[in-house]
Structure 1
Amino acid sequence: MTGHPRATEPPERKTPAGPGRVAAGVRRAARRTLTAAGVPVLLVLVWWIHSTVSASFYVPGPDRVARAFAETWFSSRLVDDALPSVVRLLAGYALATLAGVGLGVAIGLSPRLRAAAEPVLEFFRAIPPPVLVPLIMLLAGIDDGMKVLVIASGCVWPILLNTVEGVRALDEVLSDTCRMYGVRGASRLRHLVLRGAGPQIMAGLRQALSVGIILMVISEMFASSSGLGFTIVLFQRGFAIPEMWSGILLLGLLGYTLAVLFRRLERRVLYWYYGRGGDRA
């Protein structure tokens, strides 16, 4: 006995990308570029008009700052001052990450430890990190270790507090499921705790990055002989105003570059949170 053959739908054909689709993609890319560059171009234009109208010695024009930037930082200063600052920033940031995530996970998982540590955390959290610079100088000296500790002392708090809140907000259903299936120890820490608290941890790391850049500059203004903060203050005291502005511009470019790199890292680490297309952003 033979039955009627089943009617099958023809496979969907993928239409090749024609000139219209390519042109639309180019227009979208151009629109995104113009949107991203619109505000910076407007600010530079306002800056140029202000410097032309006022002719202030302390606000040089963008052309003078650009020339000073090329002469100052496309030289040995990039290795002698900018590179050491970046190394100190990354070292302090890494130290704060290890301490903040480690302590945050322990405090978040233990209600007793959280109750005992909360008053101390709130006390030290209220102290502005720049106030601790003289104390850290007395305890750690004036070498690079002091600067790394200053950066770590400020970066650790957003990481620690966000990690605690992320661990506390873990899904109880997932916790019970892991307990029922015998997922314990390192597996539970990796697959449940760190992954579940991952968005909060990354939010703390993002906040700590901007705090670290600020403390990097502040730490280099005290008893230092190199670094971006030291160089900017040196230019200011010598009335090298365009060079001082070029250092501030370099700091802004450094912060923007680190923020873009961190955003890409965050998308890759939290690919399950942002979706399949998150790593392409």
Structure 2
Amino acid sequence: MKRKALNWSLGVATPVLLVAAWWVASANSVNTFFPPLSAIMVRFRQLWLFDHFGSDILLSLRNLLLGYAVATVAGVVIGFVTALVPVARWALDPVIHFLRGIPPVALVPIFISLIGFGIEMRVASIALAALFPTLIATVDGIRSVDTTLKDVSSVYRLSRGERLAQVYLPAAGPQIASGMQVSLQVAFIVMIASEMLGSSEGIGAMTLLAQQSFMIPDMWAGILLLGVIGFGANLVFELLKNRILAWHAGSRRLANS
């Protein structure tokens, strides 16, 4: 318990100290490209808590959640099919490994050419880029299910649906969750890239516009907001994962004791 409290304290203290150091180091700055943190925070409050909250923050979060949801559902479904159906495995494995080798940001210009600059382009590019970590983690998780569990499900004559829901999904759950977490990070990166390359709305577009217009405090405020959202999204995912997979952590503690 003491170790957990110490780790939590360090996790809180380190960002606070870094922000304090940034505040002190930039307090008297006259460098145009390194403004005082106090000036950045003023613009952060004006831009992102009032002016552009509904028009840009909510828009970006909607695209992120839609693309990520599509990627998660498709990744899990295709992963199950690829892992459990031999014909699908032979047919899809080369395509999956080819497409996942393409840098996610490189997909954005392709979707701009095919779909245009609308919301559909941003959601589609996020979904395709975020698909592969979840898909590959699902395939690996299903393939690594203990053969004893498979034999027991056969002995009890579970139906295919019962095997998927009661055997394969719980056994592969921790690995699938890890893939989903990576997919969330990829989706966040592509969300920003799609807005910077093909949009005049959203956090990424506003941050790029500020840089191009030499509104440097606004640019820093946008970067700060992206960091806060990325950190918050990962934190929420960790909390949900720990709650949903609490049984897995308990079984590991029992195995190690």
Relative to the length of structure 2, the TM-score reads 0.91
Q: Determine the structure 2 residue equivalent to 1:183.
A: 158
Q: Determine the structure 2 residue equivalent to 1:218.
A: 193
User: Highest CA radius of gyration, 1 or 2?
Assistant: 1
Deviation of 1:35 (Å): 1.6
Moved over 4 A (4+): none
Q: Determine the structure 1 residue equivalent to 2:63.
A: 88
Q: Determine the structure 1 residue equivalent to 2:225.
A: 250
Q: Determine the structure 2 residue equivalent to 1:124.
A: 99
Contact 2:29 2:35 in 1 (8 A): no
Residues 1:261 and 2:236 are matched in the alignment: yes
Residues 1:144 and 2:119 are matched in the alignment: yes
- Residue identity over aligned pairs, in percent, reads 39
CA distance in 2, matches of 1:181, 1:74: 57
Relative to the length of structure 1, the TM-score reads 0.84
Return 5+ residue gaps in structure 1 as ranges: 1-23
CA distance in 1, matches of 2:188, 2:229: 9
CA distance in 1, matches of 2:188, 2:199: 16
Instruction: Give the alignment of 1:1-281 within 5 angstroms.
Output: 34-52=9-27, 55-275=30-250
**Comparing both chains, which one has the higher relative contact order based on Cα–Cα distances under 8 Å and sequence gaps of 6 or more?**
2
Which amino acid is the alignment partner of residue 16 of structure 2? V
Return 5+ residue gaps in structure 2 as ranges: none
Deviation of 1:209 (Å): 0.7
CA distance in 2, matches of 1:236, 1:140: 27
Contact 2:27 2:38 in 1 (8 A): no
Could you say what secondary structure the match of 2:150 adopts? helix
Aligned residue pair count: 253
Deviation of 1:146 (Å): 0.4
Which amino acid is the alignment partner of residue 164 of structure 2? L
Contact 2:64 2:188 in 1 (8 A): yes
